[in-house]
Structure 1
């Protein structure tokens, strides 16, 4: 019996059978699941053959991306799985679910990656401001600002560890703190001022944990942390964390190649922060510039770079520990804009400037961005210069526990392999072979 629901979506998408198959395969590949579907498979699905259970999420995501809205199992004519997490959850229950996944290594292995969804529904500021459903209070215990200060201090400490050593070990620490301490605080009695401050601090920690999940390639989980951070920030009326989270979501999207989604998220972050100070304005405009350049919009990208540069000149020195936007960050964004607009040599100069300005504490960023610098030097034909830069990366890499850094080392080995007749390349490759990547 034909799947009329799926046929309707297929007609709306305007795809050929082969185009649909390629879109599903692409969604699977992005999640680390190689698929080999063709036009014949799609024809069978439309005719009523039920796709494998593990493939259905990729079909839904492919249609969601094409139609620019979230497509559910029911809309596609599929049975809803018993463990589907698409249903609304109590915000505290969701926090506990997410945290427990990260606390236990056995669960992290199974739930590690996950599919990034470009059709994820993002709550807007008016939808979440002042609201947070189903957090039950009224327990005998009462908390004050000391407990809130502890959450803030823990978040700052975890952020420092992430910056210096990567998030592979820091994320379970953050998750354990969410589950064992923050959740209990959220259930406790408190004054209105204390509760609002606690919600804001919780939003900060959720954002940071999502950021570390992105670094490990756990993109679906990161999106869940991010959307929950938006809800808590709105409940606290915390514009700063709300906009910072949207900006983080834009960065995640652009790193995965979803430039249109990245632009919309970057613009939403800017629109949701009408009273942003100069450093925050530079932070948001820099991401807008990066997104528009990646999408090929030269005039908008350059306009936002200029706006970011002007705002940075005006910026005050104070900033949140993990929300700070420094001149080195702006130089990185300028490099991405230059590269996106075809100025490869200029992008290299800006990456060098970013490295010169970067504080030595930010070791994970140093590994990632200097590896990117070496890739672009090689792209320009500067083999020995690239090898020298990669040597610097290998000096720091063993001290960093980061999924994104691991990917950069894997890329380096693949890129340098064709040049092994060169002495510098051979020496670098041999050194890289001695580096042990995590299992």
Structure 2
């Protein structure tokens, strides 16, 4: 589109959204901040787009996401008239020579590219897509099965145990140090070890268990990538985890992954997508596993709360409580749902419903139940509790929990912790002359690292 040709597609979308250029610019900047982009667009920028100029990628995708959220329908970058010639809407940011479509090939190629610092920017520069997982029904569309290659070697029970051990190792690393720590090591492990095992011949029962473990490892990689501040790349790993779980015929891992994707969508500011994913998780998940059921119900409760649907949120929380009481513990990072997690979700739902007093009680219960080695979840729980207490005017209590958060902070590498530190400084600045707040701000200065978990915000 030449510069002197008006962008009628974008103009029509603005009319449909009932937005003016300044409102669209603000929405784009907001979405960019959630994905680590430092954007400074205003009404003049949008006016230039309307006259035919085009912003650089990934801004067209952000424009499509903002308009899609406003109009409550799918909008692609191509429909905005801003996509560059040859730019395709691709829900998986793989290199252009990626011809394989089976889950194993996609996982291996994605992880190999991610493990290479010279090619990683191609993946980390993409933006989150609202339509990457439009087909969510369990069993609706099976991925192309991976074909075992001819080999004299076969998968053994010892190989399977090794994968399970590594699931626990990387889950523990993410919990103790944050997902931005050792993420590239897991990318290499997925490429070199997991990818090789998934292509070896194996008995059917062993092969299904192998794919379940691979799905779990890819899920952990997605969560670590979320922590590192790469939402689109995390979404790609989550999508591959779904396909691996589907090939393993494992409804539980499939549903747990959809639940994590719901959490991601909510954090990025897409409550409708989060609600869709949470509902799909419950539809796909097993009905005879109380722990899993409680885990899935608690997330749907939070999405209902964000929609201001108190009745459904409370109903799901009550059902989650009932299921949790019947649950038994299972080994492994995907085996159980701790009480602290359920209390945290209850607190999140109550916050969204505006019930700050009861939210503080639930978050306090969650914080008290965290084990000392649960640094990631413990730190974020104390930060959330501190912010809630401050909103209730309980400054001294808030400072107690901010100090606990700061005690954990130096050992953590994750974007949510960096964001919590920013919130701490901003919210306590007005109280800087109060002794308790002044001490916390001094504590924050003393523990600040040289850099955040994610790269500095990218200007576009």
Does the alignment pair 1:287 with 2:299?
yes
CA distance in 2, matches of 1:105, 1:437: 23
Match of 2:172 in 1: 160
Question: C-alpha deviations, 1:2-51, integer Å up to 9, x for none?
Answer: 44544554455454444433333333333333434444543443443333
Quick check: 214-223 or 50-59, which moved more?
50-59
CA deviations on 1:224-283 (whole Å, 9 max, x unpaired) are: 111111111111110010000011011112222322221111111111125241111111
Q: 1:384 aligns with which of 374, 396, 399?
A: 396
Residue 301 of structure 1: CA displacement? 0.7
Q: Quick one: distance in 2 between partners of 1:417 and 1:110?
A: 38
Task: Quote the Cα distance in structure 1 between the aligned partners of 2:450 and 2:354.
Answer: 35
Match of 1:187 among 178, 196, 199: 199
- C-alpha distance in structure 2 between counterparts of 1:127 and 1:99, whole Å: 25
- Cα distance change on mapping 1:82 and 1:55 into 2, 3 Å: closer
* Structure 2 gaps, min length 5: 93-98, 452-460
Moved more, 18-27 or 295-304: 18-27
CA deviation profile, 1:377-429 (whole Å, cap 9, x unmatched): 11111112211222222222222232222222232122222222112222221
Distance 1:339 1:199, change over 3 A: same
Partner residue in 2 for 1:373: 385
1:138 partnered with 2:149: yes
Higher relative contact order (CA 8 A, sep 6+): 2
**Which residue is equivalent to 2:376?**
364
Describe the shift of the 1:243–1:319 C-alpha distance in structure 2 as closer, same or farther (beyond 3 A). farther
Is this contact kept in 2: 1:128–1:235, CA < 8 A? no
1:60 to 46, 58, 64: 64
Check conservation: 2:328, 2:336, Cα contact below 8 A.
Answer: no
Give distance in 1, aligned partners of 2:440 and 2:23.
42
Establish whether residue 435 from structure 1 lines up as the match of residue 447 from structure 2: yes
- The match for 2:456 is none
- 3-state DSSP class of the match of 1:434? helix
- Residue matched to 2:34: 30
Deviating more after overlay: 62-71 vs 135-144: 62-71
263-272 or 101-110, which deviates more: 101-110
Report the Cα distance in structure 1 between the residues aligned to 2:286 and 2:379, rounded to whole angstroms. Answer: 35
Residue aligning to 2:215: 203
- Determine which of 240, 248, 262 is the counterpart of 1:236: 248
Match of 2:275 in 1: 263
Partner Cα separation in structure 1 for residue 272 and residue 136 of structure 2: 18
Question: d(CA) in 1 for partners of 2:320 and 2:184?
Answer: 34
Q: Show the counterpart of 1:94.
A: 106
Match of 2:225 among 213, 222, 239: 213
Classify 1:322/1:404 alpha carbon distance in 2 versus 1 (closer, same or farther; 3 Å).
farther
Contact 1:279–1:315 (Cα < 8 Å) also in 2: yes
**Aligned mate of 1:307, from 297, 319, 324:** 319
Residue from 178, 192, 195 that aligns with 2:190: 178
Partner SS, residue 419 of structure 1 = coil
Judge which range, 44-53 or 273-282, deviates more. Answer: 44-53
1:79 pairs, out of 69, 84, 94, with 84
- 2:266 corresponds to 1:254: yes
Contact in 2 for aligned 1:128/1:231 (Cα 8 Å): no
Q: Confirm whether residue 325 of structure 1 aligns to residue 329 of structure 2.
A: no
Structure 2: how far apart are the matches of 1:151 and 1:277?
A: 23
Residues 154-190 of structure 1 show CA distances to partners (whole Å, capped at 9, x for unaligned) of 1111111211222222322221110011111122222
Alignment of 1:321-360 (within 5 A): 321-360=333-372
In the alignment, the residues of structure 2 paired with residue 119 and residue 84 of structure 1 have an alpha-carbon distance, to the nearest angstrom, of 10
Per the alignment, residue 426 of structure 1 pairs with 438
TM-score w.r.t. structure 1 length?
0.91
SS of the aligned residue for 1:168 comes to coil
1:45 partnered with 2:66: no
Q: What is the count of residue pairs matched by the alignment?
A: 438
Query: Deviation at 1:86?
Result: 4.0
C-alpha distance in 2 between matches for 1:241 and 1:253: 18
| Residue pair 2:76, 2:89 contacting (<8 A) in 1 also | no
Distance 2:347 2:58 in 1: 39
CA RMSD of the aligned region, Å?
Answer: 2.6
1:338, 1:423 → 2: CA distance? 30
Task: Tell me which moved more, 13-22 or 285-294.
Answer: 13-22
Q: How far apart, CA to CA, are the structure 1 residues paired with 2:122 and 2:215?
A: 26
Cα displacement (A) at 1:92: 3.0
